[in-house]
Structure 1
Amino acid sequence: MANIDDYNATLAEIQAIPNEEVKEPGMPVDIALQEAENLHHWSLDDADQLQVVGVTNKMIEDLAIRAGACREAQSIWNKDSRSQQEAQKQWGIQSPLAYDFRNDLLASLRFAYRKDDALLSRVSAITDGGGHADMIQDLNDIAVLGRENPDPLTAIGFELDQLVLAATRADELADLLAEANGDKADPNESKMVRDKAYIHMKELVDEIREAGKYVFRKDPKRLKGYSSEYWRKLHRKQKNNDEDAE
């Protein structure tokens, strides 16, 4: 099956894992995925011996499915995470321009409405508050106030199309800020699913490895396929560093 099919087939099992059992993966997920797929192929050759200690052919095949599901979950999280990062980058570019636009509009409104205390009071009310969300609301409020009172604006040569642009930018910036804050396509949600998919895969990886280490404890050639190359390299590196330090 394709990764997406593996993901859809096991999503209910993955989501059933309690949130409190979720931990950060103990190794890079891309490496864990490759090791799980390697273990699948390695254990296929030992299926008869593993069957004796309770590792069935179905479990071996299921490992490939769990790895495919985890790989798809990783891709989904990467996509959501990149989307948020890109939104944050765009917000960093667009928000200063939006603040300048808001300030220019307010200056025009103050001048246009300078002889009308009631309208000036409404302009002052728009300037209350601070922060990104307030700036976005300001743009929309400016658009509403300007549309309701266009004559003083046209009298000073103000282009009313700017009010349409202010309302449009308010909508666009609200969406962008939500994405930048992770409030829309929430990468935390997709990360939770990814972490659960990792747990789901690792449970079977650990079970097959444990069985393989027992069955082939006297056969070094087959035994090596039931341990993590990542951790072996890490331990060798740590050992060499310790020896160098001594």
Structure 2
Amino acid sequence: MSYSEDFELWEERIVNVPLNETKTPTEPVKDYVASVETLAKDADEDREALTSAGMDEQLIDDLIPLSGALRYCQANWMSVYEAQEEATLLWREQAPLAFEFRDELLHDFSFAYRDHPDILKKVMRIREGGSKADMVQDLLELAVLGAKYPEPLNLIHFELSKLDNSRTLSRSMAELLATANGEADEGNETKVLRDKAFTLLFEKDSTIREYGRYVFWKNDDKRSRYFR
């Protein structure tokens, strides 16, 4: 069975894990899952002894498919996380130039429309605010404003092609900012699903280990396999 099929099998139960009971992995998921898969093999060998102490043997059978579901959720989260990281790096590289371009447009517009109070007021309003989101919006509004009132810009030999560049830059920077910000970490739906899958597996894993330590309390070799 593939990891995606494992996830489909467990999806409803994973989704239904209460958010206030959801745990975040404290070690790399690949390492944790590997330890669970080893436990599945050991517990299967000790199935009779564990179930004779009252443990539900379905716990053992759940470990491998649920581990696959967790691997699937982890892969999806890492895809989102890595996209965020890449977007963040690209934003850091490109944002200074975008801010500089915005400031150059504001400089040109302020001069071009100096004798047009109504238009200049719009330019001054656009100039307000210096956040990332402001810059993205400013580039778009400047493009729209310049296209609506091109004559004063022509008089100062402003290159109107810059208006198209501003519109395009606004769109690309908006996409980068949205991806970089996203719902990073705790609020990200993909991460929450990963954490829920981990929580469900952790509960089953912990229960089996608890029974194993209880059953094999006089057998150090066996008992050691049930410590995490």
TM-score, length basis structure 2: 0.89
For residue 203 of structure 2, give the secondary structure of its aligned residue in structure 1: helix
Counterpart residue identity of residue 124, structure 1: M
Q: How far 1:45 sits from its partner (Å)?
A: 1.8
> Which 10-residue stretch deviates more, 201-210 or 183-192?
183-192
> Which 10-residue stretch deviates more, 109-118 or 178-187?
178-187
Counterpart residue identity of residue 202, structure 2: K
Q: How far 1:51 sits from its partner (Å)?
A: 3.2
In the aligned structure 2, how far is the partner of 1:67 from the partner of 1:37? Answer: 7
The match for 2:36 is: 36
Specify whether residues 185 and 101 from structure 1 end up closer, same or farther in structure 2 by C-alpha distance, changes over 3 A only.
farther
Q: How far 1:36 sits from its partner (Å)?
A: 0.4
The match for 1:196 is: 196
Q: Deviations over 1:196-236 (max 9, x none)?
A: 111100111122222222333333333222222xxxxxxxx
Aligned length: 228
Q: How far 1:87 sits from its partner (Å)?
A: 1.5
Q: How far 1:54 sits from its partner (Å)?
A: 3.9
Counterpart residue identity of residue 182, structure 2: G
Q: Deviations over 1:116-155 (max 9, x none)?
A: 2332222222212231111111111111111111122233
Map 1:39-58; keep pairs closer than 5 Å: 39-55=39-55, 57-58=57-58
In the aligned structure 1, how far is the partner of 2:207 from the partner of 2:189? Answer: 28
For residue 226 of structure 1, give the secondary structure of its aligned residue in structure 2: coil
The match for 2:109 is: 109
In the aligned structure 2, how far is the partner of 1:177 from the partner of 1:83? Answer: 12
Specify whether residues 160 and 183 from structure 1 end up closer, same or farther in structure 2 by C-alpha distance, changes over 3 A only.
farther
Q: How far 1:186 sits from its partner (Å)?
A: 8.2
The match for 1:206 is: 206
Specify whether residues 185 and 164 from structure 1 end up closer, same or farther in structure 2 by C-alpha distance, changes over 3 A only.
farther
Counterpart residue identity of residue 30, structure 2: D
The match for 1:74 is: 74
Specify whether residues 176 and 186 from structure 1 end up closer, same or farther in structure 2 by C-alpha distance, changes over 3 A only.
farther
Does structure 1 conserve the Cα–Cα contact (< 8 Å) formed by 2:77 and 2:190? yes
Q: How far 1:16 sits from its partner (Å)?
A: 0.9
TM-score, length basis structure 1: 0.83
In the aligned structure 2, how far is the partner of 1:214 from the partner of 1:130? Answer: 62
Q: Unmatched 5+ residue regions in structure 2?
A: none
In the aligned structure 2, how far is the partner of 1:225 from the partner of 1:185? Answer: 33
Q: How far 1:108 sits from its partner (Å)?
A: 1.9
Q: How far 1:158 sits from its partner (Å)?
A: 2.0
In the aligned structure 1, how far is the partner of 2:160 from the partner of 2:172? Answer: 19
Specify whether residues 186 and 201 from structure 1 end up closer, same or farther in structure 2 by C-alpha distance, changes over 3 A only.
closer
Does structure 2 conserve the Cα–Cα contact (< 8 Å) formed by 1:80 and 1:185? no
Counterpart residue identity of residue 132, structure 1: K
Does structure 2 conserve the Cα–Cα contact (< 8 Å) formed by 1:178 and 1:184? no
The match for 1:8 is: 8
Map 1:47-196; keep pairs closer than 5 Å: 47-55=47-55, 57-183=57-183, 188-196=188-196
Does structure 1 conserve the Cα–Cα contact (< 8 Å) formed by 2:36 and 2:205? yes
The match for 1:223 is: 223
Does structure 2 conserve the Cα–Cα contact (< 8 Å) formed by 1:42 and 1:225? yes
Q: Unmatched 5+ residue regions in structure 1?
A: 229-246
